[in-house]
Structure 1
Amino acid sequence: MTIKEILQLTKHRPWSLPTGNWKYYQEWNNAVFLHWQVDMKELKKIVPDDLEIDVFDGNPWVSLVAFTMEKIRPRGLPYFPPVSCFDEINIRTYVTYKNKAGVYFLSIEGGTRVSCQIARSLSELPYRYSNMKREENLYHSQNRALKSSLELRYQVGAPMSGKSTLDKWLTEKYALFQDTPTAINEFEIHHVEWPIFEIGLKDVQVNYPKFNNLLSNKPDLAHYSPGVQVIAWGKKRNKKITGI
């Protein structure tokens, strides 16, 4: 699908496209979503006070998304495979900021060291490098320094015939909010609605010591998607109100 065609498909969005030119193109492919319903008190310990934790039926959620980033490039330039394509795992929760719903990353790790360095420098997102291996129906990640790891074996099922309200709430987010010592950075994105497939989890071993009180080896819900083409706008800095 061309970028022009993607930008014309907006009926599924909760608000209008941002004004001004988009800045980056990227693809999020072969994505595995693992979702956990979590305790609000535990989650509040690691989410900035400037962001309001969003809930579904009164309950907060945290998701781990393991996928392959491909073809990331600035507007007007070609992508460069050694930097533009890498495996990524992010752990995110759901927040609102200035009446806009989005995600907040608790953790982001990438499988290519230089890509993590560039992404962290340009975006201020908390990218770190981890040793990753991906094969068909297998995703493995290990970070010896942080003693964290993910071992995931799965089988992709049939396309979901219909999405629940919760399915959409967990996947269809078009803004990202991330904190720095002085600001809340805001990023807007656009893509077509995620195509969602059923997934059978054969083995899930989640070991992130920092999030032991939130994540377990048995997620409450899981999805698979072949992926989406993503258009991203530039970073908007919002001064923090509550401090660090």
Structure 2
Amino acid sequence: MHIVEPEAIVPTAATPGNVARKRMLSRWGEPLFLADWMRVLMIHFEVDVEQLRRAVPYQLDLHDGRAFVTLVAFSMENMRPRVGGRFGAWLFKPIATHEFLNVRTYVKHNGESGIHFLTEWLSNRLAVALGPRTFGLPYRHGFINYTHDWEAGRVCGRVTDSATRMEFSYRADLEIGAPFTPCERGSLDEWLMERYVAFNCVCGRKRFFRIWHPPWPQCRADVSLKDISLIEQDWPWFRDAHLAGANFSPGIRNVWMGRPFNI
């Protein structure tokens, strides 16, 4: 596997990704980690602005006055420090590879657009213990079963909260052979997918960290929802959410992940 180094890519346009790359590299020692984010399904919902505002400790980032929440189902693989080679990768092996379900919304802080995680379910208990303490991430443990067989056009999954047994389950149909391309510039898809900073808050402690990767190679997905009780257990207003679309990506290797900073 080729490891992308920070100096290896030279930005050529003021795209969201290139701006994010410049911001990350403006701090010494960044990026801190690398990881592969694979077989990524993003399911987008339009939600009530005022209901969402009451659940988020940051200014909402709205698209033409509309508020969105996105559920991101994916597998993280091979997380490791950017420096340290095989020894660093060995140290991270217990938390290097596992599944996620992120529940994220869109916010602004100091004029910069990013995301805020309402919550996240992980299949790795050690990572669940470490995330809140290090990055201020609202991790929960869940039993996650993903079948993201995009080559055959079949994508489905189930996430079960290990404490409450509430579930989120779905199926997504892809056009077999559909090309995976970057989002159209200025589109809603780009606005939803191309985000490069996370503003977090756990127990009143606000933190942020940056990421960078090339634009997502993606295609549209047709999603059917089977059970959303996992989401409704904390946000009853999600029952009135409108499914706004979905995108699938085979994934990106060597995603840059920055260190956490206090706000």
Paired residue secondary structure (1:187): strand
With 131-140 and 103-112 compared, the bigger mean Cα shift is at: 131-140
Paired residue secondary structure (2:132): helix
- Residue 131 in structure 1 maps to residue 143 in structure 2: yes
- In terms of fraction of residues, the more helix-rich structure is 2
What is the distance in 2 between the residues matched to 1:70 and 1:160? Answer: 20
Q: Tell me which amino acid in the other structure corresponds to 1:237.
A: N
Which residue of 1 is the match for residue 179 of structure 2?
A: 159
Q: Tell me which amino acid in the other structure corresponds to 1:140.
A: R
1:6, 1:192 within 8 Å by CA — same for their partners in 2? no
Q: TM-score, normalised by structure 1?
A: 0.87
Q: Select the residue among 217, 220, 224 that pairs with 2:248.
A: 224
Q: Which runs of 5+ in 1 are unaligned?
A: 239-244
- CA RMSD, Structure 1 to Structure 2 (Å): 2.3
What is the distance in 2 between the residues matched to 1:216 and 1:153? Answer: 20
What is the distance in 2 between the residues matched to 1:198 and 1:98? Answer: 32
Q: Select the residue among 143, 146, 164 that pairs with 2:164.
A: 146
With 115-124 and 98-107 compared, the bigger mean Cα shift is at: 115-124
CA deviations over 1:48-90 (Å, ceiling 9, x no partner): 1xx2100111111111000001111123221544421001001
CA deviations over 1:116-162 (Å, ceiling 9, x no partner): 22333322211111011122322111015234311122233213666
What is the distance in 2 between the residues matched to 1:123 and 1:44? Answer: 22
1:46-195 maps to which residues of 2 (within 5 A)?
A: 46-48=55-57, 51-76=58-83, 77-78=88-89, 80-135=92-147, 136=149, 137-157=155-175, 158-159=178-179, 163=184, 165-195=187-217
% identity of equivalent residues = 24
Q: TM-score, normalised by structure 2?
A: 0.81
With 62-71 and 137-146 compared, the bigger mean Cα shift is at: 137-146
CA 1:216–1:35 in structure 2 vs 1: closer, same or farther (change >3 Å)?
A: farther
1:202 CA drift (Å): 4.5
What is the distance in 2 between the residues matched to 1:106 and 1:6? Answer: 33
Q: Select the residue among 204, 214, 231 that pairs with 2:238.
A: 214
Paired residue secondary structure (2:234): helix
Which residue of 2 is the match for residue 8 of structure 1?
A: 9
Extract structure 1 runs of 4+ deviating beyond 6 A: none
Q: Which runs of 5+ in 2 are unaligned?
A: 150-154
Q: Tell me which amino acid in the other structure corresponds to 1:213.
A: W
CA 1:120–1:7 in structure 2 vs 1: closer, same or farther (change >3 Å)?
A: farther
1:192-211 maps to which residues of 2 (within 5 A)?
A: 192-207=214-229, 208=231, 209-211=233-235
Q: Select the residue among 44, 48, 53 that pairs with 1:39.
A: 48
What is the distance in 1 between the residues matched to 2:164 and 2:180? Answer: 36
What is the distance in 2 between the residues matched to 1:102 and 1:131? Answer: 28
What is the distance in 2 between the residues matched to 1:148 and 1:6? Answer: 45
